[in-house]
Chains A and B, each alone.
Chain A
Amino acid sequence: MRGLSKQYDAGAGAVVALTDISFDVRAGEFVSVLGASGSGKSTLLNLIAGLDSATRGEIRIEGHPVSGPGPDRGVVFQRDCLFPWLSVRQNVEFAGTLACHRRGAPLSSQRDTAERVDALLAAVGLEAFANHHPRQLSGGMRQRAAIARALLHQPRMLLMDEPFGALDAQTREQMQMLLMGLCRAAQTTVLFVTHDVEEATFLSSRVLVLTSHPGSIAADVPVGLGVARAPELKLDPAFSAVRGRLMSALSAARGRRAA
């Protein structure tokens, strides 16, 4: 992935959710989109995922305009959105059973898919729960399964919409470490929507701060805390400095709206 650029100004009917947003994400970057509720963060993510179309402007991934969902992007939603009638394993391999991925695929690829599912389940620590149904799992486990499901076809980009918002603090920290490990290993580009300043600071290489009503980019803050990060980083003064910058950018964005 060389670099993707997105440019659009999306206005949706009477309510303008996002206006005049332009930014680039480089391959392998972990970019957080930080904003208060109602800033159109999720709308932005849905546009990039191809689940929604922009009123104006366009999104390009490696030069190709986005016209719909594609296997180059994996999406993880706020709520896990697992299919409750399928087991964890069936959920993870779901994308592999769809026509668009079966078409033209040789028979041997079925075994590859099975192996890939095993590897993913192991990576998110759910091997022992492969045959459980989602309702038998805790919220953190369900969200891990959802991440594994989105990663089946090794998307180059992972789009995450406040994926850990519903989890308690400790589970969330475990999930953050897991996510960083997975993405670093696979060199996945991540666009991570959150309203949590600390989470954005901890995970990202860069943070985009969004204003609300309508959403537009207020600040583009590089984090620069290195690649290898441990929970102790949160106690580091450098961490606090970045966090402080983001918080003031966020409140400035709020102030600009009031003005």
Chain B
Amino acid sequence: MKPAGVLPVARVAGRSEGGEPLARARPAAGALFSLRGELSRRTYGGLASLVFVTLLACWSVAAYSGWVSELFLPTPTRVLGAGLELLRGGELWRDLLASNLRIWAGFCLATLISVPLGLLAGNLRPFEALIEPLLGFIRYLPVPAFIPLLILYTGIGEAPKLGVIFIGAVVQMVLMVADATKQAPAELLRAGLALGATRRELFTRIIWPSSLPRIVDVLRLNLGWAWTYLVVAEMVAATEGLGYRILKAQRFLRVDIIFFYLLVIGLLGVSSDLMFRAVQRRRFGWAEEKLSS
């Protein structure tokens, strides 16, 4: 930004700078652990990969040396071998396709319903009274506990799997979206009113754009949790899918397959997370606050 004859300005107390470090020092040896200090990308990346490398090293040592029986801990080679085997056999693609279809269908359905409901509950008191106490109760019911009921009601097809993902996601998402829209600053609403906005325009022109980054963040977090529900659902009644394959592998003591699928699920989760983050970075550069992890 060009300096424009305007002097730097003292920040108002209360306009706290979310991610501002307490002491901005170049990362010298002692500054590495400065409270909320900065860390160069390289150091950050280095530390992060160190953890992965260490884990892999421990795993390799324990497995190749035979400290831990191969029945419980397969070697990295065998895990990769299992992956190749499933890739050639076509099971991997079938499982990926089935699981992804389920998760995206359930998640999109949950999004379509929870975003409008959350907007209503977050901004209109009667809707809050109708929605929030009920969901506050339901959210404490463990999602897997619904599986027997869902199977009883809808059989063992796709419906109970979608149902589990949907129930798990929709309850949290309505509450979280409501909360996200409540954070639209009241002072911006007052400014809008003063400029002549109607109630409807306050909704569409101020509340919606101002809470959109947080809503996308809610979607990102919930898609991550949806993977948990998916695998739980597939373990109960399925003929394909990542969860089903893991359960089947246990029956045949194929720990290598279990390991491989765990890695696959982790990678899928990380990549959907990165996708959301990329959208957030591109579209919501204006948002000052840091989003939750």
User: Which residues of A are in contact with B by a Cβ distance under 8 Å?
Assistant: 46, 49-51, 69-71, 73-75, 77, 79, 81, 83-85, 94-95, 97-101, 125, 128-129, 132-141, 149-150, 165-168, 170-171, 174
Contact = CB atoms under 8 A, between A and B. Distances in A.
Contacts of A95: 195-196
A197 B1 CA distance: 34
A69 B202 CA distance: 14
A138 B5 CA distance: 11
B288 A135 contact: yes
Contact of B10 (A83, A137, A167): A167
B172 to A, nearest CB: 26
A85 B195 contact: no
Interface in B235-293: 284-288
B201 A98 contact: yes
A141 B15 contact: no
Contact of A168 (B2, B7, B15, B206): B7
B188 A83 contact: yes
Contact of B198 (A46, A98, A174): A98
B273 to A, nearest CB: 23
13 contacts: A69-B193, A70-B196, A83-B206, A85-B287, A98-B201, A129-B4, A133-B286, A135-B288, A139-B9, A139-B12, A140-B9, A167-B10, A171-B9
B72 to A, nearest CB: 53
A81 B190 contact: yes
A84 B4 contact: no
Given A85-B210, A128-B4, A129-B4, A149 B9 contact: no
B20 interface: no
Contact of B196 (A69, A125, A139, A141): A69
Contacts, number: 103
Interface in B1-25: 1-2, 4-12, 15
Interface in B77-106: none
A127 to B, nearest CB: 10
Contacts of A99: 198, 201
Given A79-B187, A83-B206, A140-B6, A166 B12 contact: yes
Contacts of A168: 7-10
Contacts of A85: 209-210, 212, 284, 286-287
A149 B193 contact: no
B10 A138 contact: no
Given A51-B190, A133-B286, A135-B286, A171 B7 contact: yes
B129 interface: no
B260 to A, nearest CB: 43
Contacts of B286: 84-85, 133-135
Contacts of A98: 195-198, 201, 205
Interface string B182-219: 00000110111111111001000110011010000000
A150 B15 CA distance: 22
A135 B18 CA distance: 13
Contacts of A81: 187-188, 190-191
A128 B197 CA distance: 28
Contacts of B210: 83-85
Contact of B7 (A50, A73, A133, A140): A140
Contacts of B190: 46, 51, 77, 81
Q: Indicate the member of B15, B191, B205 with the most A CB atoms within 10 Å.
A: B191
Contacts of A100: 196, 198
Given A84-B288, A133-B286, A171 B194 contact: no
A79 B9 CA distance: 13
Contacts of B287: 84-85
B6 A138 contact: yes
The 7 closest A-B pairs by CB, nearest first: A139-B9, A75-B194, A81-B191, A166-B12, A95-B195, A140-B6, A133-B286
A141 B4 contact: yes
B187 A51 contact: no
Given A77-B191, A98-B197, A138 B8 contact: yes
B7 A51 contact: no
A141 B6 contact: yes
A77 B187 contact: yes
A152 to B, nearest CB: 8
A51 B194 CA distance: 7
